[in-house]
Structure 1
């Protein structure tokens, strides 16, 4: 934590702690930050009685942007609007895609990151590019991309001094496989619990129903997995043949 920029959640907590009457040392202890960091943050953003976390976060993002290299130096493409794509429709789809990702359980920042990379034809963006495109701090990008990697939705590689994030061809398969493993764990745990509590008891019967449901889902997913792998291999071979002929 120390050494990284304050994020929006921390600034909200600082405002709450100031309202509660806590001193800089106690706030720093709770946030695992030096008291001097808290004091500078408050002093440069209105002082103890006028600190506004939203305004402070926007100001910090603007300062970070000024310290970043120029956009032209980062090879940020405008390919989203190439191939005669309609800018209006692209923007509308962008908002829709972010909304769908949020509705399926992603945090909003993670959803925005995933949508940005999805809408990039090369299927990758560097951490710096994401900071500039989303107007967020490097720390926010780091946390959100790590979260997406844990869900098997992104893959990262070091590109010189920067991290670059990729979408793999089997992105959804890997994410789905992780979901299948979780379902299998649910099935095993519930069925084991039903034996412990007794199948003739309400708890045991409830756990058995749960376990049988997830066991059914796992069996169905395994069948789907095999079908997808066959289809995916055929698609890869077809792509290879086309590439080879070209």
Structure 2
């Protein structure tokens, strides 16, 4: 089964388990498939209450005959099974990664998109692939990826007629750098305010404490920045040397 599309027997089981009231995660666990695969299969073929396995299988066969891998025949299971990965563990980590991204302040849809791209070995997906993998609208993809680009967590490039979204090797450094710039702004603004209100006033003292805190954070982050840039350059040179051999 690894790397293969759903077959007719699996679709019959999906229909039965939906009738029994099982959720996508449990069905995926029983079939050793990602929950996202089950959800996409059901949504694409009538939804939870109208899923018909025979019609779904015929529709999938028709799509395969048309050979449109970029849209209708997209197989997103291959990477789940690559390198002897265990689908159940991959699925569990996927949910965990989304939850962590949400806890750090991302919207749930943005978190799902970021996690989906993170869990592809090539580190990129087109807008069409995101629509199919996550069962969301093109407009939702457009809005959420624009939000992630504003946070320096994604890079977008035109790939033919489609937009492709990438993760760069230094994605976390660039996101962290944006945070460092915000901290610097906080420090400068607070210390300026302290001077305006007067250092010997309650407001001025409060602003001074705030400014000194963020100034301390900025100094610490600048030290971390230098260490990371040195480490990252060494890593890039090592990869280039290994590729040249």
Does 2:81 align with 1:73?
no
Q: Is the 8 A contact 2:80 2:86 kept in 1?
A: no
2:147 equivalent in structure 1: 147
2:112 equivalent in structure 1: 112
Alignment map for 1:142-181 (pairs within 5 Å): 142-181=142-181
State TM-score, norm by structure 2: 0.71
Does 2:182 align with 1:186?
no
Q: CA RMSD in A?
A: 2.3
1:88 equivalent in structure 2: 88
Shift in alpha-carbon separation, 1:76–1:188, aligned structure 2, 3 A = farther
Q: Is the 8 A contact 1:80 1:121 kept in 2?
A: no
CA distance in structure 1 between the partners assigned to 2:224 and 2:210 by the alignment: 21
SS at match of 2:84: coil
> What is the deviation of 1:76?
4.4
> What is the deviation of 1:62?
5.4
Runs ≥4 residues deviating over 3 A: none
Does 2:206 align with 1:206?
yes
1:31 equivalent in structure 2: none
CA distance in structure 2 between the partners assigned to 1:191 and 1:97 by the alignment: 38
1:22 equivalent in structure 2: none
The alignment of Structure 1 onto Structure 2 pairs a total of residues equal to 184
2:98 equivalent in structure 1: 98
SS at match of 2:156: strand
> What is the deviation of 1:73?
1.2
SS at match of 2:83: coil
- The answer for unaligned runs of 5 or more in structure 1 is 1-60
SS at match of 2:169: coil
> What is the deviation of 1:80?
2.4
Shift in alpha-carbon separation, 1:190–1:242, aligned structure 2, 3 A = same
